[in-house]
Copies of this chain bind each other. A is one copy, B any other.
């Protein structure tokens, strides 16, 4: 997977380094994004992408034989935070995690499209993996915050992380995607406050 250095033989073309290929990939990726934002994933076809990118139709088919290939390529941007570390306080950590999710959900115009894709994952195994990966990346902050709290014995060791994440992140998705209401800070604060209150006042 790493760089192979100046000495290499054409007989192992595993890595794409031909500048022409790089250019093509770049152009197509941008064309797909542009199309998606203007008209949705449904509007993405090999033909339209080729026209938008100003390249040949055959070239698009060569690199992305299936339509799904085009879509997945345009999504490969969302990543889990790599620099995460606990502040030592669950409330603070959760706030950070949820605010990150809030920002992602609020800012990206692709969110509704991702949801549409996710719905379609039912019929496409490849999409199912992508869905899981995206979700894991989006909620990684929350998961790490909770894990750190368990480590500190602030939460019981058998605390169900998935349940908690669903309860914390679910309302945000609901608001953004279904209710189409603004994801304001007050809303996020309400959720965190209630949860913290719940785990610190167990009776």
CA–CA, A190 to B187, complex, Å? 20
A120: contacting residue among B42, B169, B174, B201, CB under 8 A: B42
Q: How many copies does the complex hold?
A: 2
State the Cβ distance, A72 to closest chain B Cβ, in Å.
16
Closest to A39 in B: B123
Number of residues on chain A facing chain B (CB within 8 A) = 39
Residue-wise, chain A 33-51 has the 8 Å CB interface mask toward B (1 for contact) of 0000001101000000000
Binding site for B on A (CB under 8 A): 39-40, 42, 112-123, 131, 135, 162-163, 166-167, 169-175, 177-179, 181, 187, 190-191, 194, 197-198, 201
25 A-B contacts (beta carbon < 8 Å): A39-B123, A40-B122, A42-B123, A112-B118, A112-B119, A112-B120, A112-B122, A114-B119, A115-B119, A116-B116, A116-B118, A116-B119, A116-B120, A117-B119, A118-B119, A118-B178, A119-B177, A131-B178, A166-B175, A167-B194, A170-B172, A170-B174, A173-B173, A197-B198, A198-B198
